[in-house]
A and B are shown apart, each in its own frame.
Chain A
Amino acid sequence: DQQVKQNSPSLSVQEGRISILNCDYTNSMFDYFLWYKKYPAEGPTFLISISSIKDKNEDGRFTVFLNKSAKHLSLHIVPSQPGDSAVYFCAATKTSYDKVIFGPGTSLSVIP
């Protein structure tokens, strides 16, 4: 039972354009959401997060949007750069002493 879903295994975007990565979750108890980025041969690194009390969080080129009623969140990268090419994992947790659940990831390729 996959509680965090990323239905697009891969995404290809031109440099300078917007990248939109989507994520859906099934567990309504989740109230904290995170995005991680992973390069080959490295561990995932934290990118940006959002609490369920917000619907948007911005950090430079990265913005995460949360739609609680739809149990959907998205990561926007504007403008996309070739260095953004990586696998992006959506993750969710409850703000307690609880585990972080990851989605299967979306591989983003930014074409120069």
Chain B
Amino acid sequence: DIQMTQSPSSLSASVGDRVTITCRASQDISNSLAWFQQKPGKAPKSLIYAASSLQSGVPSKFSGSGSGTDFTLTISSLQSEDFATYYCQQYKSYPLTFGGGTKVEIK
């Protein structure tokens, strides 16, 4: 199985900050990487697929990059609605696997 490791597990940031979350795969997954946002008590929301493609309706302040084993999610200017937990997921092969999540909190 492909293991996905996210870092950090949590971070504190201020409104307006630029935030970067990293995700590392245990083997080459090409660009088969997705990012999700989840707020407490809600279903996940899909943000990015194919490592860098924005899902429909997702604002351009979110961006993704990387290929192979190392990936990043960047939020260019953090807003109050962006405080949430973020997950990466590989879909290169079954079983699909998620990273452990990164909780973005208000500083």
Chains A and B come from one and the same complex: no
B residues in contact (CB < 8 Å) with A: none
